[in-house]
Structure 1
Amino acid sequence: MSGQAFEPKNMIFRQLGNTGLRVPVFSYGGWLTVGYDQKGDIVKELMQTAFDAGINMFDSAEAYASGESEVEMGRVIKELNWNRSDIIVTTKIFFGVGRKERHNTRGLSRKHIVEGLNDSLKRLQLDYVDIVFAHRPDPTVPMEETVRAFNYLIDNGKAFYWGTSEWSAMQIQQAHEIARRLNMVGPAAEQPHYSMFHRERFENEYEPLWRYENYGSTIWSPLDSGLLTGKYNNGIPEGSRYHSNLNGAMDENVKHLTSPEGKAKIEKVKELTALAEKLGGSMTSLALAWTLHHKGVSTCILGATKPEQITENVKALDIYPKLTPDVLAEIEKILDNKPTPTATFGRRADDGQLS
């Protein structure tokens, strides 16, 4: 596959954790976007807009739109004829595709990991993905089986790296320890929720992973499904994600919006919006740029449903260098939600290893 060359523009690239893979700080994802209401030409427009903005990383999952997200992304990649070495494609395995069974059609058994990715590759029309994530932990499967299965995919050229999504820090550490014992490849990155309003796990529980393991991350919902754009400051506008509420995915968010805690968040968004405007940007660009300041963030997944949203999102690169220590302190004062550090696991004094 070869075609139009990739031009990174002013995009910033980072190493994905402790690997040699260089990823853009913004990537484009298909959760609640591609394969749902966004099908056909609009998907091509969205992905081309991202590509033109310097975003060459695209994230999906077998479960997104019951496989249709992968189908749509795969079709566009083929139609746009991008050079395969210029793009990074990721997917996730765990939930299966539109099935209710809880046996071998989902989970992290060797059977589903291998068969699941084979099916994903067919939908994507690709020979391999760059990263395959375990979409959730599976306590019903021995960790060693899961580690061996992902290494099988790597050894057979189906993926270059594997990662985790919404795993606990201890589960991730267990996978690393097993991989070291077996002389295998451990997970390279976690895909967690991280935003101004969702900080506890990322900044607290995962802190030893960023600090000692140099673990990477591909964060999702950095705008909290639009709450941090300011669009919900005066209710739920028609056409918004809360309004469309695909398959009830936003039920809890909508309910939270009218709660005392939700109303308090809206007031914070209004204060942050004023600060963003002083910096010459929007609330959206401020919220996105803020996530990039954490050392654990490798790439921030954008979930835009319109091309112009992608164009707006990447303007965060202009705000990012303006987030000086004083500005960050002002943001912290408005948010007033910095997690209190707790020790989840740490180094042993005698050998320097995580325990």
Structure 2
Amino acid sequence: MPHKTANHSVHIVLGTAGFGSAKDPQAKFNDATSATPLLDLFRSHGHTELDTARAYPVGAGGTAEELLGRLEVGSWATVNSKVKSWIPHAHRKEGIEKSVADSLEALNVDKVHIMFLHAPDRTTPFEETCRAMDAAHREGKFERFGLSNFTAEEVDEVVAICEKEGFVKPTAYQAKYSIIARGSEEDLFPVLRKHGISFHAYSPSAAGFFSGNVTRESVNSSGSRWDSETLLGKVYQGDYFKDEIFAAATRVKKSAEAVGLTGHGVALRWTLYHSLLRAEHGDAIIVGCSSLAQMEQNLEYIEQGPLPKNLVEEMGQVWESVKATAPSYHK
């Protein structure tokens, strides 16, 4: 019997950065045996949109898409992916063509819903990148063009290029957004709304930072997303390992527990129900996990609805306490 779905219209998207080869210890879903129950659980709650990338998992890029392809998720899911980025000249014409083609082949689909540029390639003229994305769009390889981790000014620049040249314009944008990562509200959100671009929030619970399990001493075990021996762990520690943010996480956890909730649950529910995300703009949150039980818990939190008013007000105070040192929404 299907589970009750959450009382909201902001899209819930399953993040698959933890899918793929066991060569990456941070990839927890390595095959059909581990991944299928997670996908079935997600579907049973009424959600059918998946987020992946050519770079996933970070330590074995491409293998997340390959696993999803073997599982034939394209037969039932709306699949979004991201082109290979993060290296100089990745967004040259040839790089875009190869990355898009490789993603479609790995995913075993003819097209994806949204194809994002995973991060800006500032070594390649944006016009060349946009021209290549437009060509792929005209060939039917994706339905929507997306940006991720670009500055607000760069979003304006990309849209202007696309309008001038008659290219497909971006209609989706992806970045981190949570109680302690709200820098996008001041300069990015107005730009997105001006151009009719939806916002897809990743790390809506700050990668589990409010669970109470993340400390400077506990994070470096092999396989932890926070492990400083990995690229992803270095990124997470750079974003969040600051005294003000640790203090904020403790405050969120204690405030949540005082009313019988969890810090992690409060973080998810704040991003979904009390942030600037709006259903009418097609906005979404991307929810990941490292185990089936964790996803069950995440979906349960999501379905609990809005937070008590006094807790929402306190989360506003938490943001003010970390605003000066908060992680940036762009790269």
TM-score band, normalised by shorter chain: 0.7 to 0.9
CA RMSD of aligned residues (A): 3.0
Q: 2:276 aligns with which of 288, 295, 298?
A: 295
Match for residue 152 of structure 2? 169
Amino acid at match of 1:207: F
| Partner secondary structure for residue 27 of structure 1 | strand
**CA–CA separation in structure 1 for the residues paired with 2:39 and 2:200:** 18
3-state SS of 1:62 partner: coil
Aligned to 1:39: 30
Q: How does 1:109-188 map to 2 (within 5 A)?
A: 109-188=92-171
Q: Distance in 1 between matches of 2:255 and 2:68?
A: 34
Question: Which residue of 23, 40, 47 maps to 1:48?
Answer: 40
2:322 maps to 1:330: no
Q: Which runs of 5 or more structure 1 residues have no equivalent in the other structure?
A: 1-6, 15-23, 341-355
Q: Is the 8 A contact 2:11 2:284 kept in 1?
A: yes
Written as runs of structure 1 = structure 2, the 5 A alignment for 1:150-299 is 150-200=133-183, 202-232=184-214, 236=218, 241-242=224-225, 247-251=230-234, 253=236, 260-275=243-258, 278=259, 281-292=261-272, 293-296=274-277, 298-299=283-284
The answer to whether the 8 Å contact 1:225/1:241 transfers is no
Deviates more, 1:328-337 or 1:189-198: 328-337
Structure 1 residue aligned with 2:293: 308
The letter for the 2-side match of 1:295 is L
Given that 1:281 and 1:319 are in contact with CA atoms closer than 8 Å, whether structure 2 keeps it comes out as no
Report if the CA contact (8 A) 1:45-1:307 is conserved: yes
Query: Aligned pair count?
Result: 309
Deviation by residue 1:102-159 (Cα, 9 ceiling, x = unmatched): 55xxx11221112211011111111111110001112222222222221212211110
| Aligned partners of 2:225 and 2:233 also within 8 Å | yes
2:30 aligned partner, one-letter code: K
Paired position in structure 2 for 1:60: 52
Instruction: Tell me if the contact between 1:108 and 1:138 (Cα under 8 Å) persists in the aligned partners.
Output: yes
C-alpha displacement of 1:180:
1.8
CA contact (8 A) 1:272 1:334 kept: no
* TM-score (normalised: structure 1): 0.76
Q: CA deviation at 1:249?
A: 2.2
Change (3 A) 1:121 1:231: same
- What does the per-residue CA deviation read over 1:167-188, in whole Å, with 9 as the maximum and x for residues that have no partner? 0111111111222223332111
Percent identical: 23
Residue 242 of structure 1: CA displacement?
4.6
Change (3 A) 1:27 1:294: same
